Amino acid sequence: MISIKLFLLGFIICLLLVPLVKKIAFVIGAVDIASGGRRIHSKDTPLLGGLSIYIAFAVVSLFFTGEFDKLKFIIVISALPIVVGGILDDIYEIRPLYKIMFQLAGAVMLIVMGVKIQLLTNPFGTGDQFFSLQYLSIPITILWIIGVTNAFNLIDGLDGLCGGVAFISSLSIFFMSILNGRPMVAALTIILCGSILGFLMFNFHPATIFLGDTGSQLLGFLLAAISMVGTVKSATAFAVAVPILALGIPIYDTLFAMIRRKVNGKPILQADKGHFHHRLLDLGLSQVQAVVIIYIISGILGIVSIIALEVSSTNSYIILATVMAAIVLIGWKVGFFKSKE
């Protein structure tokens, strides 16, 4: 009942905020102009949608989750640089380096306030259950946060795509946190689910507002941060296989993009139309059909991630390796690594 309450609060608050955010976006110039190129929409559309998700998530997390828990304050506060950087990008289209700097600021805030990857689960099933990262803890945490943040940013190419995938990933982590006995993580993820769904009411095709970098980066950052403490029973440990499966599509699509650009002699950060959703559109699918297919795949990966959580560390890594091998093979067979401008 508490989870339903938190979900509904996030949903309703975000639902009420979106119309206001749309007006603000037009006033400050945070608008995506339909001008061809990689854009596939036909009319000017306000960005900044992520601001409504952040406000709803922050309000419900801070004021309606009951007992004091520093985790909710850390997550909400550390996301502020992401939101600020996203707003600036939605208005001015800032350079990638500046976006990384805002992401780095958020990651550093997390680390300074005590949220970082300190232990990795042992994949071999012998000796100690965890490996201590020691001095590698900080760089690995930063790499994870920035990597996942940008992965969600890159898949934001179709109406409802990034938000829907984030919803499914968040729901998967919610169930994991229940199984792990992590009530605050469960609260944060179910609030995020409700907030995302409230926004998706305006973002399903045809969308009347986009997430913008404010939203796509925010969702990636929140899920990266929450997954560090919600997928194992120890708050300091990190089960590599589980969150990589739960956050699957954005991570795999980003890896494919990096490999594709490297193989074809393109800059790794250069945008292209070779992402998974672009390929589905090329097959003749509509936006809605492409998004639904990716939802289904994300849902399957979410279920697999929950299974991986419940088996031994060795088996969870085997599951991850099997899934990744299958995805790479399929990607190679259908030409995901071939250049496509």
**Binding region for Mg(2+):** 153, 213
- The alpha carbons of the chain give a radius of gyration, in whole angstroms, of 19
Q: How far is CA 39 from the centre of its chain?
A: 21
Cβ atoms of residues 254 and 272 within 8 Å: no
What's the angle, vertex CA 186, arms to CA 180 and CA 190, rounded to 5?
145
Q: At a CB cut-off of 8 Å and minimum separation 6, what does 151 contact? A: 220, 247, 250, 251, 253, 254
Angle subtended by helix axes 96-112 and 70-78, to nearest 10: 160
Give which of 93, 69, 86 is closest to 229, Cα–Cα: 69
Identify the DSSP state of 64: S
Q: 247 — phi, psi (to 5°)?
A: -100, 20
Which residues contribute to the annotated binding site? Answer: 153, 213
What is the dihedral sign for C-alpha 72, 85, 145, 223? positive
Cβ atoms of residues 130 and 252 within 8 Å: no
